[in-house]
Amino acid sequence: MKKLIYPTVLLACTFMLLTVVADAEAGRLRQLSQLRQDRLKIGRGMLEVQNVDWTTLLQYYTDDIEYHCPIVDVYGIDMLTEFLGRLYGNSPDLVTTIEDETLVDDVYSATWTMVGTFSGVPYEAKGISIIKFHRWSREVYYWRDYYTEGDIMANIPGFDEAVLGFRTYYRCAVDPTFDCPFELATADAVPEMKPMVDAPAPHKYGRDIRSLIRLRRDRLEIGRALIESNGASWQSLLPYYTENYEYHDPIVDIYGLDTLVPFFERLFASSPNLITTVEDEMLIDGVYTATWTMVGEFDGVPYSSKGMSILKFRDWSTQTYYSRDYYSEADIMATIPGLDQAVAGFRVSYKCVVDPAFDCPFPPLATLEADGH
């Protein structure tokens, strides 16, 4: 009898232990799922401010949170609170619509379109944001928005001509579909396209686990290579673009591989020493995003700009059919004599309105109104 009791007790204890472990694992999975949902809700709320009272999100920001955009850099919860109060106070009708979003590990990212007025000036801008959470937490410690202030400047008399002039010049230099109103000296400098050498064909992938792992690894490598492409590498990467590929940045819109090739020819002829360095990168399903710093010259004018890109792959493939670069064209304009003053003037005006840490060189608006200006 004793021989039967001991195995029975052992089996019962083992079953009870497995039940406890299974319950604990299920509870942990529920917690992780809830954390993910909460982070998505927080990230969306930070961007789609028309749907949320922005002050209710302050509880999720760390004391040392930092915020960055093309114009301002804000450090600490106190400064961020004042900055957001000024920003939304001067954009009372702001509506932001999220398009694509990703949440990988502790990093949330979303592309969006923003429509509204800033200090009475109407504008519409496309952008992308990256928001970083502390590990296993709902606390946000880092937030950066990428967009071009040219979309706002283009609607302000005095600044609009500078933006239009630069955009026209840029499209004349790089956009093969643009009907340029004048001739550029660089037009004859576009090099003849060289045939590709040892360009690898995109690999075909199965549906097994090993193929999925390889596909993810290859997509990360190719996505990074496409973002960091330069005058020496872009031709070897052409097999990774589909025939109907489309590319967008703040100034140009390119449709089709046949248009992309002459665009790249012109771009790298105007910026032969362009270097782009990827910093943070994410890949979820077929969507690759990356932040980067770009350094180079455009028609001999040196510049540096931070940006972020989104790139979409075809299903089960390393070929991409869509990408968009987000950066501020004003970073280039700021280095061009004649345009630099317009950029500096707009940035000073903007910081005077929203940046609590900025020592504004202008008298307060109330003082000007009292003086009859």
Q: Partners of 231 in the beta sheet?
A: none
Structure tokens at 278: 């990827």
- The pLDDT of residue 13 is 58
From 147, 167, 198, the end of a domain falls on: 147
Whole-model pTM: value is: 0.84
Q: How many domains does the chain have?
A: 2
Pairing of strands 241-248, 140-146: unpaired
Place of tokens 């489309």: 246
On whether residue 81 sits in a domain, the answer given is: yes
Is residue 141 located within the same domain as residue 231?
no
Q: What's residue 1's pLDDT?
A: 52
* Residue 165 token pair: 């002039």
The pLDDT averaged over each successive group of 10 residues in the chain (373 residues) is 56 56 64 93 93 91 97 97 94 93 93 91 92 96 95 90 94 95 62 49 75 92 96 94 96 97 95 94 93 91 93 94 96 91 94 95 55 44
Residue 309 lies in a domain: yes
Q: Which of 47, 133, 60 is nearest to 96 (CA)?
A: 47
Please check whether residue 127 is in contact with residue 114, taking contact to mean a CB–CB distance below 8 angstroms. yes
Angle of CA points 26, 27, 32, to nearest 5°: 95
**Which pLDDT does position 195 carry in this prediction?**
45
Give domain status of residue 36, yes or no. yes
DSSP 108-176: EEEEEEEEEEETTEEEEEEEEEEEEEPTTSS-EEEEEEE--THHHHTTSTTTHHHHHHHHHHHHHHH-T
Other Cβ atoms less than 10 A from the Cβ of 139: the count is: 16
DSSP 238: G
Q: Quick check: is 319 in a domain?
A: yes
**End-to-end Cα distance, the chain:** 103
Query: Are 127 and 9 found together in one domain?
Result: yes
Residue 43, classed as helix, strand or coil, is helix
Please check whether residues 128 and 187 belong to one and the same domain: no
pLDDT of the residue at 25: 59
End position of a domain, from candidates 122, 147, 172: 147
Q: Which residue has the tokens 């001739």?
A: 183
Measure the CA–CA gap between 167 and 173, rounded to whole angstroms.
Answer: 10
Is residue 363 domain-resident?
Answer: no
For residue 349, is it within any domain? Answer: no
pLDDT of residue 295: 96
- Residue 57 · residue 42 · CB < 8 Å: yes
**Same domain, yes or no, for 191 and 301?**
yes
Which residues form the domain of 43? 2-147
CATH for 266: 3.10.450.50
Query: Do 120 and 197 have their domain in common?
Result: no
The answer to whether residue 235 sits within a structural domain is: yes
3-class DSSP state for residue 98? strand
Q: Please choose, from the candidates 173, 282, 178, the residue with its C-alpha nearest in 3D space to the C-alpha of residue 224.
A: 282
Query: Which among 68, 70, 90 is positioned nearest to 79, based on CA atoms?
Result: 68
H or E, element range at 78: helix 77-89
Q: What does the DSSP assignment read for 292-342?
A: EEEEEEETTEEEEEEEEEEEEEPTTSS-EEEEEEEE-THHHHTTSTTTHHH
Q: What pLDDT does residue 372 have? A: 45
Residue 351, domain member (yes or no): no
